[in-house]
Amino acid sequence: MQKPLGNEYPQNKYFSYYIEQVDYQNVIKALMVNKDVVINLYKSLTEEQKNFRYEVGKWSPKEILGHLTDTERIFGYRALCIARGEKQSLPSFDENDYANAAQFSLQNFESLLEQYRLVREGSLALFSTFTDEVASQIGMANGNPVSAKALIWMIAGHEIHHLRVLKERYNIG
């Protein structure tokens, strides 16, 4: 699945930034490779590293893992809806509200990692069935026109962004 064209997503700092983070020509390959990177990285963390916060109010790596999973669920749902021809505008979400409600820091780490793996495998199974035509369908999400393909690239780029944050601010990776 090729990179989305500029008219397939809003030209704002979030969409453009995340999509530009993906170095692969094929987003399915990026998602497959990053799944292994994330799982291996998180399996290598100590309890202290999983719960470390580089600043008060910032998420721990454990909470970032939950956030990555929730975001993939939401963007994947949006991509599915748009690929299936949904005409209704799909709602936005506030990642901080979702993280607070989820209480990832209180959840079992192994369960969070398994949820991540299962969500990614489900995403890969779904997205690999999308033809170029289906992936290029445009719908509305968060009040903006966006293609299913752009949402898939955003999942990959969002994850790459957080892997970079883990490396730069948490000294992990």
What would the pLDDT profile of 26-52 be if each residue is shown by its tens digit?
999 999 999 999 999 999 999 999 999
Residue entry with tokens 């699945």: 1
Q: Beta strand 138-141 with 144-147: parallel, antiparallel or unpaired?
A: antiparallel
Q: What percent of the chain has pLDDT over 90?
A: 94
H or E element that contains 165: helix 148-170
Structure tokens at 20: 């530009």
| Average pLDDT of the residues in 130-152 | 96
Residue 1 resides in a domain: no
| Average pLDDT of the residues in 57-78 | 98
Distances (CA, A) of 77 to 53, 83, 151: 30, 10, 9
DSSP labels, 80-116: HHHHTT--SPBP---HHHHHHHHTGGGS-HHHHHHHH
- C-alpha to C-alpha distance for 140 and 89, rounded to whole angstroms: 5
| Average pLDDT of the residues in 132-160 | 97
Residue 73 resides in a domain: yes
- C-alpha to C-alpha distance for 152 and 158, rounded to whole angstroms: 10
- C-alpha to C-alpha distance for 73 and 18, rounded to whole angstroms: 16
At residue 1, the pLDDT reads 87
- C-alpha to C-alpha distance for 162 and 14, rounded to whole angstroms: 13
Residue 40 resides in a domain: yes
- C-alpha to C-alpha distance for 64 and 79, rounded to whole angstroms: 22
Quote the number of domains for the chain.
1
DSSP secondary-structure letter at 44?
T
At residue 173, the pLDDT reads 83
Q: For residue 25, what are the domain limits?
A: 6-170
Helix (H, G, I), strand (E, B) or coil at 120: helix
Please provide the average confidence, as pLDDT, over all residues in the chain: 96
Residue 125 resides in a domain: yes
At residue 172, the pLDDT reads 94
CATH number of the domain within which 104 lies? 1.20.120.450
